[in-house]
Amino acid sequence: MGICENRVVIVTGAGRGLGRAYALELARQGAAVVVNDLGVGNHGEDTGESPAEAVVSEITAMGGRAMANHCDVADWEATGEMVRQTVETFGSLHAVVNNAGFVRDRMFVSATPDEWDAVMRVHLRGHFCTARHAVDHWRGLAKAGEAVDGRIINTTSGAGLHGSIGQTAYSAAKGGIASMTLVQAAELARYGITANAIAPNARTRMTEGAFGEAMSAKEGEFDIFAPENTAPLVAWLCSEQSVGVSGEVFELIGGDLRLCLGWSDGPQEDIKRAWKAEEISAAVERLKAERPAAKPVWGSS
């Protein structure tokens, strides 16, 4: 038996890349999987493809249970129907893996409002809609006196944690997702729901355009950036074994599992009176000297 036996999980953006790897690993671990994928291209364009069915076929071929869903994760009504259909088909819902997204890579001086809005919609609103409907379902169960063991797994990024040149909108959206995860964890614990985020480092359609050869597999070496490396962490977060873990952000690079520190108070200097403008330069230099060095923005060094 796998660690997700009898669990039911929705994975958005599960037709390719990381989402596909998550769906397959969850199925191997015993979960019934709703494979959500709109079938769009790397920039959100219509491709006429339907990769969700292909992943469902892979899961059923291995003896697992799966269902395809093609809704837009930023569509409030459609995501509500996806949650309802999941419960009707499999009898329950235990976890939501928010993975769907696309990019509009652009230097800040070239970014357009339409590109900004598109990225915010699919990442931030897309994370909100599916999880919000799942929480309504779990909260209803909790209010009815039923035990709830719900999971929200969000997808942030190193771009969201410390920035990435040429990805202003994507970085801002992913940073917002990390912050949302902290609030979800704090607010939803009373209902038996945990919320965590992952920052994958994997070779996908999105990262290949930005990092290309740097993420390619090397002959005879451990494939550090294979999407499958992140899947066991996702399966564990969806399982009962992660019940005591919430409000965390994980990074995984190959076999290197990292637990992020998150925001905390840094060095301080209290002079017990109002600062004078001419005093601040020296104070800031003293505080910067005490503070640990931050990770550089991706692409800046």
Question: Which among 22, 164, 171, 174 is annotated as catalytic?
Answer: 174
Task: Tell me the pLDDT tens digit for each residue of 220-241.
Answer: 666 887 999 999 999 999 999 9
Question: Which among 164, 170, 239, 242 is annotated as catalytic?
Answer: 170
Please report the domains of the chain, with CATH numbers, ordered by start residue. 8-259 (3.40.50.720)
Question: Which among 22, 157, 239, 242 is annotated as catalytic?
Answer: 157
The amino acid occupying position 50 is S
Query: What's the pTM?
Result: 0.90
pLDDT at 298: 83
d(CA 210, CA 164): 10
Task: Tell me the pLDDT tens digit for each residue of 32-67.
Answer: 999 999 975 444 445 556 899 999 999 999 999 999
Active site residue 174: yes
In this structure, the strands spanning 150-155 and 193-200 are parallel
Mean pLDDT of the chain: 91
User: Are the CB atoms for 279 and 287 separated by under 8 Å?
Assistant: no
Q: Where residue 123 falls among pLDDT bands split at 50, 70, 90?
A: very high
Neighbour-count burial for 71-82, b at 16+ CB within 10 Å, e otherwise: bbbbbeebbbeb
d(CA 21, CA 223): 14
Active site residue 295: no
Task: Tell me the pLDDT tens digit for each residue of 133-150.
Answer: 999 999 999 999 999 999
